Structure 1
Amino acid sequence: MTIYFEEAGVHTEEVLHLVKERAFQGDISAVLIATTKGTTIKAALQILKNIKDNSQKTVLLIAVTHQAGFIKPGKVELDENLREDFENRGVKVLTTTHAFAGVDRAVRKKHGTWQISELIAETLRIFGQGTKVCAEITLMAADSGLIGTNKVIAIGGTGRGADTAWVIQPAHTSTFFDLKMQELICKPINF
């Protein structure tokens, strides 16, 4: 059953409880969580710690951060001490180029010309920022090799915190059209 939040914004605990319930069904290999400063991961470590499916198989937690240089050249927003703490607690932390940005964003910024990956991002945003984030972090995790082709749950949000979660059949950026947004767990109605 899909849950709809009246407004976009911080619904992190509710999202994580819904994700825990869905992950227990047994066909989820990983939970991907978008994070900037680590707040959502801290909450996930409380609610999803030692998350297992119904066959007692551990579900991998993956934190996906903004790429280096997103706000300021050469800077990673996630504090290095937090990153180390998360990794020591079993969370894989991924910092890599955004699937819908990269060189295409540089072309738009310099020449004012929109490229296809940013147009795809804008199209996904018609379902909300969190939906775009969920698709993007799944592509990023697949390209990094942290996930394969088994179903994952991706968690994203609008600004800070989480407000959206999807069950997704992953794909690589080079096979983007094989990505399947299979089950909507939750999202905001107004965004």
Structure 2
Amino acid sequence: MIVTLIVICEVGFWVLLAAGLAARYLLKMPRTGLALLLCEPLLEIVLLVVTAIDLKNGAEPSWRHGLAAVYIGYTAGHGHRTVTWLDGHAAHRLGGRERPAGPPRYGMARARHEGRIWLGSVVAAAVASGLLLLATWYVGDDGDTASLTAWIVVAWRAAGIHGLIALTYLIWPKKEPRGGAGTVGDEKRVPDRTP
């Protein structure tokens, strides 16, 4: 049931996002669009409540409950950035606004950009860890909580790997080609499609 709910929340995230952007830019109803976008955190609250009820009703703590916490953490750490990125592109394509600038491609500016994204992963791991520790406390000594605490290691391992990747941009910054080819204002630049 928990895995199905995670899938429903993920699908719901994208449906609410599409509906919110469509309302804002296609239907010219910015308040309705904003209301739809603000409903997205409710999906994570529903998932959290259902997971807590499942544990309270005697379900054995398992990898499913850990996955739910990690999913909620990921949404907390990276959801806002994803919505902002897609909103900027929707405003450009559907609302006639200027194309949003892509991330910096070279030097320390790119390293700072990657560092900010990594901080989202740290937030995700911290939120997931907090939820998993709360779940462990909630279950108490009555259940085997090893599967929950194992997910804490998974969350921080993912944040650590992401941190190492972000660190490479600082240690070995990509240098801008001579003549500035490939910079933001250059027509030959390949658009960066990452959020």
TM-score for both structures, normalised by structure 2? 0.25
Q: Which is greater in Rg? A: 2
Higher helix share: 2
Structure ranking higher on relative contact order (CA contacts 8 Å, 6+ apart): 1
TM-score for both structures, normalised by structure 1? 0.25
Higher strand share: 1
